[in-house]
A and B are shown apart, each in its own frame.
Chain A
Amino acid sequence: SQKIEQNSEALNIQEGKTATLTCNYTNYSPAYLQWYRQDPGRGPVFLLLIRENEKEKRKERLKVTFDTTLKQSLFHITASQPADSATYLCALGQNSGYALNFGKGTSLLVTP
């Protein structure tokens, strides 16, 4: 069965360092992969999308890589700030006939 795995353990890092979150998947051939941020008591908010034919995408301090051979995406936040503390979810999508499937998310805590 299809599986999306994100590290269930919280990631604690110091302000200014680079945070790296991992999303692995099995039995899946996504057309694209998305990353979302979720704060407590709120719905997820879209951050970045990367397509199957793209290796890397950047947006400000965010960088996403997508390796369809390894079936893995890495999400990086450079120069992390306490305000980046949240849960980060990856989601895999196919064509418009299919729903987005989400991982369980990884909690990030950035301490001053």
Chain B
Amino acid sequence: GAGVSQSPSNKVTEKGKDVELRCDPISGHTALYWYRQSLGQGLEFLIYFQGNSAPDKSGLPSDRFSAERTGGSVSTLTIQRTQQEDSAVYLCASSSLRGVNTEAFFGQGTRLTVV
């Protein structure tokens, strides 16, 4: 596809369960970001992958959160032992970061509800 694709679009899970959220970035984009957006709030940075560099994990809120990016393309954000405060929209974005092209292209997000 032409844009950033996230799946699932909606996820309802029981407290204590693990969830995996997937992001397919735009082909050729070296940078990939995960953000979290709670209702009516701004974007909270979670993790950033750039090429082969070590990811910037400084935004992950706890050790229950982890993310991988395989082959420099698809990324998976995993939340273990989900809590109700994890309920939010999880947004993924990618960027080419070549020359002046620093704009981030966002997916539609995954709305996670922990009940």
> How many A-B pairs with Cβ below 8 Å?
57
Q: Which of A12-20, A65-73, A76-84, A90-98 contacts B (4 or more CB under 8 A)?
A: A90-98
Which of B42, B100, B106 touches A105 (beta carbons < 8 Å)? B42
Which of B4, B50, B102, B103 touches A97 (beta carbons < 8 Å)? B50
Number of interface residues of A (CB under 8 A): 23
Which of B45, B48, B100 touches A102 (beta carbons < 8 Å)? B45
In the assembled complex, the CB of B64 is this many whole angstroms from the nearest CB of chain A, namely 20
Q: Footprint of A on B, CB under 8 Å?
A: 4, 31, 33, 35, 41-43, 45, 48, 50, 53, 56, 59, 91, 93, 97, 100, 102-109
Q: Footprint of B on A, CB under 8 Å?
A: 6, 32, 34, 41-46, 49, 89, 91, 93, 96-105
Q: List 6 A-B contacts (CB under 8 A).
A: A32-B102, A49-B102, A89-B42, A99-B56, A100-B93, A105-B42
